[in-house]
C-alpha cells in the first residue's frame, strides 16, 4: 500500500500577524473567521460555522461562518447601496490597488503558508500563487487605465448622417464572484480586482474547502481603502450561499470558476444576469510523429502533475500516435520517476495531496475503471487519505471514463491513436473545449491541428498554462463562456453603453446630399441611377 511519508510535524497554528486581527476570533485554539458585510466583520446570523480541514493531514485548521440567506441578502444590499466606487476617480482606485499590492508583498509569506495549509500546495506553488496575484494586480491596474470607448461618426450610414455616437464602458453594478478550491487566492483575486477597478461592487463566495486566503485578501483590500460596502465576502455551502447569490435579483453578473455541473446549474438559475463561466476541461496533448519526444515527455508529465493535476488546464490525456508511442511512454515513465510527491511542507516535494480523501477516491475510481477496461498501469494507482500516488496509465481505451472526463488528479493518461486524424477525432469529440496542446516540428501541421481543435486555447510545444492571464483564455462547449485575462476580464465586467448625439440640432454634423440637393438641384447621390435618366 502506498504510504505518504509524513514529516511527523504537527500542523502548526495559522501564521497570522496582528494585521489580520479583527477578522477572526479564537475558540478552542482554532481561529473562527468572520465575514465582511457592509464594512463590518461579522458572524453569520444564527452563529453556525463549518470546519476547514488541511489536506496535509486532514486536521481542522480553522472555522468559517455558515452564512444564511439573510447574510447573503445583507451582503448584496450593502453592495447595491454602496456603489460609491463607481464615482471614485480611476486614479484614486489605482491608489487603492497600489496600496493593496504593497500590503500583499509585505504579507506574502503568511499568504503562502496559509495556501500551503488550506490547499496542500508545495512551498514553490504556494509562493508562486501569491506572486501571481501581485503581478496580475499590477498588470490589471495598467489595463484599467485603458477603459476607454469609441467615437463613431454617423455619416457612413444614411440613417445616421448628422449624428455621432460615443460608446462607453460602464460598471455592471453588483458582481457576484464564486471561486473554486484549486487556486483559492489567485482565482478570487482575478475576479475581485478587475471588477472593483472597473467600478463594480462585489460579493465574493470562496470555496468551502479553503476560504481562508480569500478572507485575508478581502482584509488587504479593505485596509487599502476599498470603500465600505463595495466589497463583501460570505462563506458557506455552495448549494445554499452560491445558489442564493445566483438567484438574487439585485446581482447583475455572476463571475464563476468551477466545475461544469455547477456552471450548468448556474446558467439555468441565473435568469437574465450577465454570466462569465470558467468551467472544467479535458486538456489533450497531441504528440505527433515528428515531435521532440524529450520535450513532449517532460511537458506532458509537468502538465499532468503540477499541483497534483488539480488544474483546469492540466494535460488530462496524452494522445501519442502509434509510431512514437513506445518511445514516448518510456520517456514519460523516466520523467515520472523524478517527481517527488508527499508532505508539501518538505521543500523537496514537487506535489502534495489532492484536496481531500473524497477526491482521492474519485480519482481512484477512474483509474480502476480504466484498468478493468484494459489499460496498463505503469506506475502508481494507489492512495492513502488525500495522497494519490503519481500514476501512469498506458493504452487507455476510449470506453474508459478517464479518457473522456476531467481527471483533476496526478495521472498521466496515455491513449494511442493510429495517426494525426484519429488523435484529432478523439480530441474533437470531447464535450469540453478549454485547451489542448500539440507537439510537432512542422509549422503547417501545427497550424492545421490548431485550427481543427475545438477549444478556447491551443498551446504549441508546451503544456497549457494560464499563468497570470497575459494571454486571454476561456472555454467553448461545456468548458464555459467568456474570456479571462488582462483587459479581457475588465471587458467582461463592464457593459457597453451607446450615447447618440443629434448634431443637426446645433447646426453641426454632415448633411446628406439629398437635403443639400433640394437647394442646389445637384443630382441625388453619386453613382445612383435615376429612372428618368438624369
Ligand atoms: P465546484 O465544486 O464547482 O465549486 C466551485 C465553487 O462553486 C465553490 O465556491 C462552490 O462552493 C460553489 N458552488 C457549489 N455549488 C454551487 C451552486 N449550486 N451554486 C453556486 N455555487 C456553487 O468546483 P471546485 O471543485 O471547487 O473546482 C474545481 C473545478 O473548477 C474543476 O472542474 C476545474 O476544471 C474548474 N476550474 C476551471 C478553471 C477555468 O479557468 N476554466 C480554473 C480553475 C478551476 P462550495 O465549495 O461551498 O461547494
Helix (H/G/I), strand (E/B), else coil: 464? coil
The residue whose CB lies within 8 Å of the most ligand 1 atoms, and thus the one to mutate among 180, 234, 257, 269, is: 180
pLDDT band, very low/low/confident/very high, at 527 (cuts 50, 70, 90): very low
C-alpha cell at 466: 494560464
- Kindly tell me if the per-residue pLDDT of 411 is higher than 80: yes
What pLDDT is recorded for position 212?
Answer: 98
Across 359-490, the runs of DSSP E, i.e. the strands, are 376-379, 383-384, 387-388, 391-394, 411-415, 432-433, 435-439, 457-460, 476-477, 480-481
CA–CA separation, 249 vs 337, rounded Å?
A: 53
The residue whose CB lies within 8 Å of the most ligand 1 atoms, and thus the one to mutate among 204, 258, 408, 479, is: 258
> Mean pLDDT across the chain, nearest whole number?
94
Buried b (16+ CB within 10 A) or exposed e, 410-445: bbbbbbbbeebeebbebbeebebbbbbbbbbeeeee
Catalytic residues, which ones?
A: 278, 312
CA–CA separation, 45 vs 143, rounded Å?
A: 39
What pLDDT is recorded for position 202?
Answer: 98
- Kindly tell me if the per-residue pLDDT of 3 is higher than 50: no
CA–CA separation, 113 vs 213, rounded Å?
A: 10
Contact 494, 482 (CB under 8 A): no
CA–CA separation, 503 vs 88, rounded Å?
A: 31
Report how far apart, in Å, the C-alpha atoms of 251 and of each of 74, 168, 336, 367 are: 12, 21, 46, 41
- Kindly tell me if the per-residue pLDDT of 524 is higher than 90: no
Nearest-atom index, ligand 1, CA of 209? 46
Which residue's CA lies nearest to atom 45 of ligand 1? 238
What pLDDT is recorded for position 533?
Answer: 37
Residues near ligand 1 (Cβ within 6 A): 178-182, 187, 205, 207-209, 237-239, 242-243, 246, 257-259, 262, 265-266, 278-281, 312, 406, 408, 434, 475, 480
Q: What is the pTM (predicted TM-score) of this model?
A: 0.94
Question: Which residue is listed with cell 470531447?
Answer: 430
CA–centroid distance, 250 to ligand 1, in Å, is: 22
- Kindly tell me if the per-residue pLDDT of 233 is higher than 60: yes
CA–centroid distance, 210 to ligand 1, in Å, is: 12
What pLDDT is recorded for position 5?
Answer: 44
CA–centroid distance, 522 to ligand 1, in Å, is: 67
What pLDDT is recorded for position 509?
Answer: 86
Q: Which of 404, 417, 409 is nearest to 392 (CA)?
A: 409
What pLDDT is recorded for position 510?
Answer: 86
Helix (H/G/I), strand (E/B), else coil: 430? coil
pLDDT band, very low/low/confident/very high, at 447 (cuts 50, 70, 90): very high
* pLDDT tens-place string over residues 93-150: 999 999 999 999 999 999 999 999 999 999 999 999 999 999 999 999 999 999 999 9
Nearest-atom index, ligand 1, CA of 181? 26
pLDDT band, very low/low/confident/very high, at 470 (cuts 50, 70, 90): very high
User: Across residues 28-43, what is the average pLDDT?
Assistant: 97
CA–centroid distance, 241 to ligand 1, in Å, is: 13
Amino acid at each position: 500500500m502506498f504510504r505518504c511519508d509524513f514529516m511527523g510535524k504537527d500542523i502548526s497554528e495559522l501564521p497570522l500577524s496582528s494585521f489580520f486581527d479583527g477578522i477572526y476570533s479564537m475558540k478552542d485554539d482554532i481561529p473562527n473567521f468572520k465575514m465582511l458585510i457592509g464594512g463590518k466583520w461579522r458572524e453569520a446570523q444564527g452563529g453556525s460555522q463549518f470546519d476547514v480541514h488541511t489536506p496535509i493531514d486532514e486536521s481542522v485548521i480553522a472555522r468559517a461562518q455558515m452564512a444564511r440567506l439573510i447574510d447573503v441578502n445583507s451582503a448584496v444590499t450593502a453592495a447595491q447601496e454602496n456603489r460609491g466606487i463607481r464615482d471614485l476617480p480611476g486614479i484614486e482606485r489605482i491608489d487603492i490597488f497600489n496600496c493593496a499590492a504593497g500590503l500583499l508583498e509585505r504579507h506574502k509569506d503568511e499568504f503562502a503558508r496559509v495556501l500551503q495549509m488550506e490547499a496542500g500546495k508545495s512551498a514553490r506553488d504556494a509562493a508562486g500563487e501569491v506572486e501571481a496575484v501581485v503581478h496580475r494586480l499590477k498588470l490589471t491596474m495598467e489595463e484599467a487605465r485603458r477603459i476607454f470607448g469609441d467615437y463613431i461618426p454617423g455619416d457612413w450610414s444614411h440613417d445616421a448622417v448628422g449624428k455621432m455616437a460615443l460608446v462607453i464602458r460602464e460598471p455592471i453594478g453588483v458582481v457576484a464572484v464564486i471561486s473554486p478550491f484549486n487556486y483559492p487566492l489567485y482565482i478570487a483575486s482575478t475576479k475581485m480586482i478587475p471588477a472593483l477597478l472597473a467600478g463594480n461592487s462585489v460579493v465574493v463566495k470562496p470555496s468551502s474547502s479553503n476560504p481562508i486566503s480569500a478572507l485575508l485578501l478581502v482584509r488587504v483590500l479593505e485596509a487599502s481603502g476599498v470603500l465600505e460596502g463595495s466589497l463583501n465576502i460570505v462563506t458557506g455551502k455552495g448549494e445554499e450561499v452560491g445558489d442564493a447569490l445566483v438567484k438574487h435579483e439585485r446581482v447583475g453578473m455572476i463571475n464563476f470558476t468551477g466545475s461544469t455541473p455547477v456552471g450548468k446549474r448556474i446558467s439555468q438559475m441565473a435568469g437574465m444576469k450577465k454570466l462569465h463561466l470558467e468551467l472544467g476541461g479535458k486538456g489533450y496533448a497531441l504528440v505527433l510523429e515528428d515531435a521532440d519526444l524529450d520535450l513532449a515527455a517532460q511537458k506532458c508529465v509537468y502538465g499532468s502533475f503540477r499541483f497534483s493535476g488539480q488544474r483546469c488546464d492540466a494535460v488530462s490525456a496524452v494522445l501519442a500516435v502509434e509510431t512514437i508511442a513506445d518511445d514516448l511512454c518510456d520517456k514519460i515513465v523516466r520523467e515520472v520517476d523524478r517527481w517527488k510527491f508527499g508532505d508539501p511542507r518538505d521543500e523537496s516535494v514537487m506535489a502534495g495531496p489532492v484536496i481531500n480523501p473524497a477526491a482521492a477516491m474519485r480519482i481512484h475510481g477512474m483509474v480502476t475503471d480504466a484498468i478493468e477496461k484494459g489499460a496498463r498501469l505503469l506506475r502508481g494507482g494507489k492512495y492513502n487519505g488525500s495522497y494519490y500516488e503519481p500514476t501512469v496509465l498506458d493504452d487507455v481505451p476510449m470506453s474508459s471514463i478517464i479518457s473522456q472526463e476531467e481527471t483533476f488528479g496526478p495521472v498521466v493518461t496515455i491513449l494511442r491513436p493510429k495517426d494525426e486524424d484519429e488523435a484529432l477525432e478523439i480530441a474533437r469529440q470531447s464535450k469540453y473545449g478549454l485547451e489542448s496542446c500539440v507537439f510537432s516540428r512542422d509549422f503547417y501541421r501545427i497550424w492545421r491541428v490548431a485550427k481543427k481543435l475545438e477549444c478556447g486555447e491551443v498551446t504549441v510545444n508546451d503544456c497549457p498554462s494560464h499563468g497570470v492571464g497575459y494571454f486571454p483564455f476561456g472555454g467553448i462547449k461545456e468548458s464555459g463562456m467568456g474570456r479571462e485575462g488582462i483587459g479581457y476580464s475588465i471587458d467582461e465586467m463592464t457593459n457597453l453603453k451607446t450615447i447618440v448625439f443629434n448634431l443637426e440640432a446645433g447646426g453641426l454634423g454632415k448633411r446628406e446630399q439629398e437635403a443639400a440637393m433640394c437647394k442646389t438641384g445637384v443630382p441625388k447621390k453619386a453613382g445612383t441611377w435615376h429612372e428618368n435618366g438624369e
